[in-house]
Structure 1
Amino acid sequence: MADKDKGPRRVTSFDVARVAGVSRAAVSRAFTPDASVSPKTREKVYQAAKELGYRVNYLARSLTNKRSDLVGVVAAGLDNPFRTLQIEHLARTLIFRNFRPILLPTSKEADTSTVIGQLLHYAVSGVIVTSDAPPTEICEQCAAEGVPIVLINKGDEIPFVDRIISDDHTAGNLAADHLVDKGAKRLAAIAASSVSYTARRRCEAFLARCRQRGLEAQLFTVALNDYQSGFNAASGLISLGIDGVFCANDYMACGVIDRLMSGRSREDGPAMRVIGHDNIPQASWAAYELTTIRQPCDLQADQAIGLLMSRMAKPDMTARVEFTPVSLIKRRTA
């Protein structure tokens, strides 16, 4: 009766080894990616684990090995649909590579030490920091602990920290050339003044390309690269007679379009040509049909995790930078 009161006993690796007829070390190897174990032994272990309902305790294993299979993904700006898409691809790719993602939301105002504490508490094998998240303290502390880090779309140059950066120069050129070729004469770009490294870079490239094409474009600075900032900025664009605008991201471009379409029918289209950046799912919706620059999250995830894994193998390599190619997606708005 006492055993019943305590509930069912937790299945252990010893139980799996007994049923499979192998050693406990063989069970451990069977559940360790790339470990040396024969296919026949691995299959026997998996079958026994399935019959017994055994699950590997990865956190307990990390206490023994000093490292887990967890990879921290530090992200801010989770209201932006692009960030959701980016995290989804990172998570899927990490799982495919036999890692387990742990998402740590943060913000510009957040206490970075809390994020660092969570990362180190779980003995993560690596960290990926996305564009709007504050990286410097995280990188310094994790580097001191020997934890590999990859930054996505960030300008911080930190020793032994690798980066993936979208090709913002090409993005700005593509947007400028397309608007000019479509006949736009009064051009503008919209981006936050200090939040995003890559948003500023792609808008600077846009302005430079416009000058090369013989047109002087204006830069509208806003507080955030978000929907509401785009919506609010649209009134200023209208008053200045802007007929072609490049938004730092699609999220902002959707705000611009909604303001421009106020009182207009869908058939009329927006009052000026609009190009965004990122190719979020909403960009193809009938309400927007937004011309945009595609930033391929799937390729970006492969690049980031490839760098992370090579950094795990060789921690002392010189810091590296890889660029993610972009392409123009033509739709109704430009």
Structure 2
Amino acid sequence: MRRVTSFDVARAAGVSRAAVSRAFTPDASVSQKTREKVYQAAKDLGYRVNYLARSLTNKRSDLVGLVAAGLDNPFRTQQLENLARALIARNYRPILLPTSQHADSATVIGQLLHYAVSGVVITSDAPPSHIFEECATEAVPIVLINKGEDFPFVDRVVSDDRTAGYSAADHLLESGATRLAVVAGTAVSYSARRRAEAFLSHCASLGVEASLIPVAINDYQHGHGVAEQMLDLRIDGVFSVNDYMACGVVDGLSKTGKAGRSIKVIGHDNIPQAAWAAYDLTTFLQPSDLQAEQVIELLTSRMAEPDIVARVEFTPVTLIKRRSA
């Protein structure tokens, strides 16, 4: 059976092929009457736009790459869903390329460039600078989420980690805790490092004793594994730099059988599991829906103006109080 083409649609709708193309192009100049005639003809004929063919003509597809690691963390899943929804709402198509914590994301981004992507959003570790130069040469904008490095023409969206660290210390003290700690894998995460530094510096400014309990990875298993250490240090208030790890801390403390001496726990991200009765976790809301809107705004504005200076947007956080602290 012969494939239906845009010429067939144009003939059936009584319009030019250019009008068909405009009708299927978001924000293109075409009357509502013409657009409706084209859509009806396309529906009757079973025509679908071949976006890959269009990208060959335009030298740019409507694909936007999402590069992410740590997909076992519920917050990352939530974050990617909001990014995907925000892209689709603007007629872009997200393409997910998972990577690992220690993999070279430059390789993954290099693969995306073969698909003439319109942009790249990175939630994993920032790649080496040469890939940014490649993307700039090909006019492919990049937005980094919760990354600290500054690069020319690369925009960033960063959670307000300083407020989180300060507020976590204040809330633990107000809740009656006196020996504080922060659990963080500072070597592997910019956000973890920033939150831990803010927490410890604020405690120092208040003259309060506080410890860093380092972990290799900010995940459930490593949170679970530091419970005994916290008891040995006689900690009574702890800030875990993400909820995923905080859930591990709570379960680890419960498993020791020594959790009668209450240890107040605060997390970060407000993942769905934080509200479960087993955790009832005090935490910081990092609104990934707002964050996604910030990312897409930076991405689309740089598509329009590739040479504007690099920008940083901060995502506000809000303390959600529950039973854990």
Class of the TM-score when normalised by the shorter of the 2 chains: over 0.9
Which of 24, 38, 44 is the matching residue for 1:45? 38
Please name the residue that 2:224 is paired with.
231
Would the aligned equivalents of 1:270 and 1:333 in 2 still touch at CA under 8 Å?
A: no
Q: Which runs of 5+ in 2 are unaligned?
A: none
Per-residue deviation at 1:270?
Answer: 8.2
Per-residue deviation at 1:68?
Answer: 0.9
- Please tell me whether residue 210 in structure 1 is matched to residue 212 in structure 2: no
Please name the residue that 1:291 is paired with.
282
- Please tell me whether residue 98 in structure 1 is matched to residue 91 in structure 2: yes
Would the aligned equivalents of 1:77 and 1:83 in 2 still touch at CA under 8 Å?
A: yes
For 2:162 and 2:178, the matched residues in 1 are separated by: 21
Identity %: 72
- For residues 301-320 of structure 1, give each alpha carbon's deviation from its aligned partner in whole angstroms, at most 9, with x where no partner exists: 00010011110010000101
Q: Give the alignment's TM-score, normalised by structure 1.
A: 0.93
- Please tell me whether residue 146 in structure 1 is matched to residue 139 in structure 2: yes
- For residues 64-120 of structure 1, give each alpha carbon's deviation from its aligned partner in whole angstroms, at most 9, with x where no partner exists: 101111111111111111100000000000011111111111123334353123211
- Please tell me whether residue 240 in structure 1 is matched to residue 227 in structure 2: no
Please name the residue that 2:312 is paired with.
321
- For residues 189-225 of structure 1, give each alpha carbon's deviation from its aligned partner in whole angstroms, at most 9, with x where no partner exists: 0111311111110111011111222202101111001
What number of residue pairs does the alignment pair up?
325
Moved more, 321-330 or 16-25: 16-25
Corresponding residue SS for 1:26: helix
For 2:226 and 2:136, the matched residues in 1 are separated by: 41
For 1:311 and 1:269, the matched residues in 2 are separated by: 54
Structure 1 residues 330, 63: closer, same or farther in 2, change over 3 A? Answer: same
For 2:260 and 2:292, the matched residues in 1 are separated by: 35
Structure 1 residues 136, 251: closer, same or farther in 2, change over 3 A? Answer: farther
For 2:124 and 2:107, the matched residues in 1 are separated by: 19
Would the aligned equivalents of 1:75 and 1:106 in 2 still touch at CA under 8 Å?
A: yes
For 2:45 and 2:154, the matched residues in 1 are separated by: 43
Please name the residue that 2:266 is paired with.
275
Corresponding residue SS for 1:262: helix
For 2:260 and 2:313, the matched residues in 1 are separated by: 38
Task: Letter of the 2:94 partner, please give it.
Answer: P
Please name the residue that 2:71 is paired with.
78
Structure 1 residues 228, 212: closer, same or farther in 2, change over 3 A? Answer: same
Which of 158, 164, 176 is the matching residue for 1:183? 176
Please name the residue that 2:301 is paired with.
310
Which portions of structure 1, spanning 4 or more consecutive aligned residues, are displaced by more than 3 angstroms? 111-114, 131-138, 268-271
Would the aligned equivalents of 1:16 and 1:48 in 2 still touch at CA under 8 Å?
A: yes
Q: Give the alignment's TM-score, normalised by structure 2.
A: 0.96
